[in-house]
Amino acid sequence: MRAVLSSQPIKSVLARGPLAASSSALACSSRRNLTSTVYRTQAFRPTMPAADSDAAAFGETHITKGIGRLSKHVFEDGKGTWITTDKGVKLLDMTAGIGVCNLGHCHPKVTEAAAKQCGKITHAQVNIGFSATQIELIRNLLPILPHPSLDTLFFWNSGAEAVEAAVKLARAATKKQNIIVMQGSYHGRTAATAALTRSKTIYGEGHGPLMPGVFATSFPFYAHFGLPVETDVEELVRQSLHQVRLTLQQQTAPSDTAAILIEPVIGEGGYVPAPASFLHGLREICDENNLLLICDEVQSGFGRTGTMFAVEESGVRPDVLIFAKGIANGFPLSGIASTNELMSRQKPGSMGGTYAGNAVSCAAASAVIQAFNDENILDNVAKRSDQLVSFLTSLKNDSKYGHLIEDIRGRGLMIGVQFANTPTNAASQNTSAAAASGKKVEQIAPKVVAECLKRDMLLLSTSVFDVLRFIPPLNISEDELSQACAIFKDAFEAAVKELGH
């Protein structure tokens, strides 16, 4: 076992350990003796596995059990659409780190910009002065934001922090407290954002009390209503807008409500795009009732859906836009954009944070925006999206098991596949064969994920429904996507055979 020298003051180490009682005697010892005591103190620490022990086993022991994990792979290297593990396994990545590495792992231009910044200044603290890279990033960002009124920014580190920043802004600017969220929404795992999250109970369960003042309303998704996939979307929109209006009459008065918060494409809740008519309806309701419309584009932003931001497609103007993930391709950075008028209503000092808008992350983000321009990333998103959707459609139409695919949906390279099976299938009116049988059927998505993993491909499931999500890097090649489709087909067939379909 390798001895570890403590950097802590010797007295404090002794005071905590079983040797505390003898500390006064030790205090009289020579410096040499004290050093040897530090070695002896280490013996009372938990046994440390040898440095060459299996990294995954070490991680399982020493990382919180609160983290759920798709695989036991240890990622050591990532280039483009590929990740290599510590054991030399090369994995085809259809997750992009959950929609973060939109330009693939270690995009050379982004890496170069970050490395260069590391040699200049890494921490340009925003409550002390302006950060040059942050100013430069704002210059690059303004032209690509979905509306010219979004001209003022605040940066933070994680998506959840940015959501909290949006809530703080909405509350400070409107002097009202309550927030309306969508059923199926995901906004993060902090105490405030878990309260805003309605995709699964796991994020809040056992962690309450969470932030109060949150009200959930309907989102136009057929599965939320227990209706068949063929249900007219505009009817779902009408029903959902009706529910939003009722929410404002029955649950939270407009005079108490600061904002409506929505993901323009529901992510963790099942990869369901909000129809344009729904977003327009929400805009109208917000205008009528003096509420802010906040769009959470943490997952759907930065080219993921084929436009820089998903809300662009509808033409609807958000009052606040939340972004993170893809902005810096793996460096921690998030933020909100809003109008100068709204942002001026916050008191100086009320926003900030030690690492808010880190200089290296900002330099990486500017390089990301440059790469979007130089490499025609959005063109590739359109082409690869067509390739993926036509593959999935042909699988649904032609294969022996195609009837088990209920829905293929999404935008760009944020594509979900819902299987004909729901968590409450016995009671549902779902038209799928599985549901019609009235039996409780095991979910297909987790099995397909496991089969993909056996074939060295990373793919994620999502939501309480039986859904898989494809979120590959946006610059994935045609050939790489063909390989992914072939693996998916094979894995899907193996999974449904194993489930006895």
Ligand X SMILES: Cc1ncc(COP(=O)(O)O)c(C=O)c1O
Task: Give the interface with ligand X as residue ranges (CB under 6 A).
Answer: 98, 158-160, 163, 186-188, 263, 267-268, 296, 298-299, 324
Return the closest-CA partner of residue 378 out of 307, 311, 273: 307
416: β partners: 409, 469
Nearer to ligand X, 198 or 384 (CB): 198
Residue nearest to ligand X (CB): 159
**Residue 348 neighbours by CB under 8 Å, 6+ apart:** none
Q: For residues 351 and 269, give the distance between their C-alpha atoms in angstroms, rounded to a whole number.
A: 30
Nearer to ligand X, 113 or 324 (CB): 324
| CA distances in angstroms from 164 to 154, 189, 198, 201, 303, listed in the order given | 12, 11, 16, 19, 23
| CA distances in angstroms from 283 to 94, 145, 265, 314, 447, listed in the order given | 34, 18, 16, 11, 40
Q: For residues 242 and 213, give the distance between their C-alpha atoms in angstroms, rounded to a whole number.
A: 21
Label the pairing between strands 82-85 and 272-273.
unpaired
Q: Least Å distance between CB 315 and ligand X?
A: 21
Nearer to ligand X, 185 or 418 (CB): 185
Nearer to ligand X, 227 or 459 (CB): 459
Q: Least Å distance between CB 250 and ligand X?
A: 27
Nearer to ligand X, 460 or 481 (CB): 460
State the number of CA atoms in the 13 A half-sphere of 27 facing the CB. 11
> The tokens 């391709």 sit on which residue?
329
Helix, strand, coil tally for the chain in percent (to 5): 45, 15, 40
Nearer to ligand X, 100 or 420 (CB): 100
Torsion of CA 243, 279, 445, 306, to 10 degrees: 180
Q: Least Å distance between CB 268 and ligand X?
A: 6
Nearer to ligand X, 96 or 110 (CB): 96
Q: Least Å distance between CB 17 and ligand X?
A: 37
* Alpha helix segments (H runs only) across 85-232: 96-99, 108-118, 132-141, 159-174, 191-196
Torsion of CA 295, 296, 300, 302, to 10 degrees: 90
Nearer to ligand X, 335 or 487 (CB): 335
